[in-house]
Amino acid sequence: MKKLFLSLLTVLSAATFYSCEGDQGPMGPAGPAGKDGLDGENGLVYYQKTDFTVESADWQLRAPDDKPNERYYRYEFDYNELTDEMCDIGIISAYFVYDDGYQNPLPSTKFHSYEENGQKFYYSQTIDYEYAPGKIIFIVTNSDFYTDEKPATMTFRVITHY
């Protein structure tokens, strides 16, 4: 049985690798013409880049009384260019923009430490976003839910494709 399998495998391999010799056949018929995309309806991709800056003083604390472990900061922008169609069939990507121009895709989690009274503390900070037609929200959450200080001023870049 093993010999039969190896023989069959050898014949099939040889037929596959050596059957492509010979003259090339004639060109086939032309296919249908493609759509030009000039009117925006036939394949043109819409692209938009918008930057948003949240000043440190503008971050809004969310701290539900019934959920003390869900404390975070957020800021909501009106974003009228974000339509129902973009939300339904588009791609909405957001990035944190560093002062030197580098960008980090969201959501992003960074790890930090600080020292207080000779003791070292560690925490992570997650930056995220949510959107709906006409609005975009940026969210900053510390893993230890420390909210006595507002987040720093942050710039975000939103790229939409649809």
Q: How many CB atoms lie within 10 A of CB 138?
A: 24
- Of 104, 98, 146, the C-alpha closest to 125 is 146
Asked if the structure places residue 6 within a domain, the reply is no
- The DSSP secondary-structure symbol of 71 reads -
Residue 122 is assigned to a structural domain of this protein? yes
Do 90 and 162 touch, CB atoms closer than 8 A? yes
pTM to 2 decimals? Answer: 0.70
**Each residue of 3-58: pLDDT tens digit?**
665 666 666 666 565 555 667 888 888 888 766 655 555 555 788 999 999 999 99
- Any domain includes 136: yes
Task: Identify the three-state secondary structure at position 103.
Answer: strand
Work out how many domains the chain is built from and give that number: 1
**Is residue 32 one of the residues assigned to a domain?**
no
pLDDT tens for 58-77 read: 999 998 777 767 889 999 99
The range of the structural domain enclosing residue 92 comes to 54-161
**116 assigned to some structural domain:** yes
pLDDT digits (tens, 9 = 90+) for 96-152: 999 999 999 999 999 988 898 999 989 999 999 999 999 999 999 998 877 888 999
